[in-house]
Amino acid sequence: MAFDPLTMLTITIALALAASLYLAIEWQTVREPALLFWSAGFALISVGCILALLRSSGLLLVGIWFANGLLITSHWLFFAGVARFTEVRLSRAWLLAVAIWFAMLLLPNGPEWSKIMLLVNSLLIALITIRASFLLRPRGKSLGAGAAQLRFVLLGHGLFYIAKTIPVLVPGTLIDLASFQGQIIKISLVEGVMALMLISLSMTGTVRYRREKRIERLAARDPLTAMYNRRALEARAPKLLDGVSPKHPGALLLIDIDNFKQVNDLHGHAAGDKLLVALGEMIRQALPEGSLAARLGGDEFVILLRDASPERITNLGDLLRQQFQSAAAQTFATPEAVTLSVGASLFDQPPASLAALIEQGDVALYESKRGGRDSIRLVDRTSNAEPLTG
């Protein structure tokens, strides 16, 4: 199949410009600095291709050396963007790529030097691109589906540039950069267009995926205590509740601070916030594995336990009550003690809904408040029910 190099270059210029613009516009909403590096990289590719067109007018220094240099620099910018995205510090040794490009200015003109030019150029681009793809490998926390795509696209692009060195090493292969002669140059132009589209698409995918995950994480958390909020609990509770059976009973503990208003009124809202954060931390520390906890709102928290028993519930409730009372008494003096009331429900069948379960906990909590606060009231709804108060 014959491809006219000048047409391919023109298509590349248009696509690279579009990708550069698109990534810059994306940056305006996402504000991920990597996007600016990538956008600049694509802008350089379009400038490089415009310079490459000048070869047909006989401007070989600009059309070959500068154009290829810009191609290396653009890949270097892609690499720098990936480093920024993955928060990896780049070694200054990578600037050597630019020095090598300048060194290539010393190469004499002529078709016989085209091979050396193409070899060095290809190896530099392969090295930079494959290294960038390695930065995107999963390490500890996953970078997400978008990053995996970009990783493989960059790897494929890098491997193509390694493959490009093979014809250079085969004696007698025709490679003339000045007149775009040689099969490998034509194949490169086609690969360039494909890589351009795939790389720019996966770059936006990578950044969007991370942003969506970040928004999802934020939406699930109460901003003050960083605990799950009600919505997040509703999403996670069914898995725990569906596993409830007479052999594996479940429990809900509804926890409410007593006389919390006095802390706010006498010591300020910030003092109240501090106490809420402290209670959140206590709950987090005391939470058995496999349980769920959330802040429902105001001074109300909830814990969902699996494999629960009356003893486990009272032990957990009493531990939190003691820890909280002593922390509150030491920090903020109030006319009435700032303590915890707990309403708990033990059940051995999956409840109709989380809301129904919370309602049951509310009834028990109300009983605890009415009984003088600073206590735990447990309603045992299992088949071998035995009311217990503390």
SS (H, E, C) 256-314: EECCHHHHHHHHCHHHHHHHHHHHHHHHHHHCCCCCEEEEEECCEEEEEECCCCHHHHH
Query: Does residue 32 interact with ligand GTP by CB under 6 A?
Result: no
- On the 0-12 / 13-18 / 19+ scale of CB atoms within 10 A, 311 is exposed
- C-beta separation of 97 from 78 below 8 A: no
Judged by CB under 6 A, does residue 257 bind ligand GTP? yes
Does 261 participate in binding ligand GTP (rule CB under 6 A)?
Answer: yes
Residue nearest ligand GTP, Cβ-based: 272
Tokens of 294: 């959330």
Question: Binding pattern to ligand GTP, positions 205-244, x when CB under 6 A?
Answer: -------------------x--------------------
Give me the least distance between CB of 370 and ligand GTP, in Å please.
10
Show contacts with ligand GTP in window 287-306 (CB under 6 A).
Answer: 298-299
What is the size of the binding site for ligand GTP (CB under 6 A)? 15
Task: Say whether residue 260 binds ligand GTP (CB under 6 A).
Answer: yes
Asked if residue 276 binds ligand GTP (CB under 6 A), the reply is yes
- Minimum CB separation of residue 227 from ligand GTP in Å reads 12
Does 48 sit near ligand GTP (CB under 6 A)? no
| Listed residue (2, 359, 368, 369) closest to 381, CA to CA | 359
Q: Which stretch binds ligand GTP (CB under 6 A): 90-98, 126-134, 151-159, 259-267?
A: 259-267
**Which 49-78 positions form the footprint of ligand GTP (CB under 6 A)?**
none
Residue for token pair 């939406």: 219
Which residue number, 222 or 380, has a Cβ lying nearer to ligand GTP? 222
**What string of DSSP letters covers 314-368?**
HHHHHHHHHHHHHHHHHH---SS---EEEEEEEESS--S-HHHHHHHHHHHHHHH
Asked if 269 touches ligand GTP (CB under 6 A), the answer is yes
Our CB check for ligand GTP shows the closer of 299 and 348 to be 299
Sign of CA dihedral 81, 87, 91, 92: positive
> For residue 54, what are its two tokens?
């000048």
Give the residues lining the site for ligand GTP (CB under 6 A). 224, 256-261, 264, 269, 272-273, 276, 298-299, 369
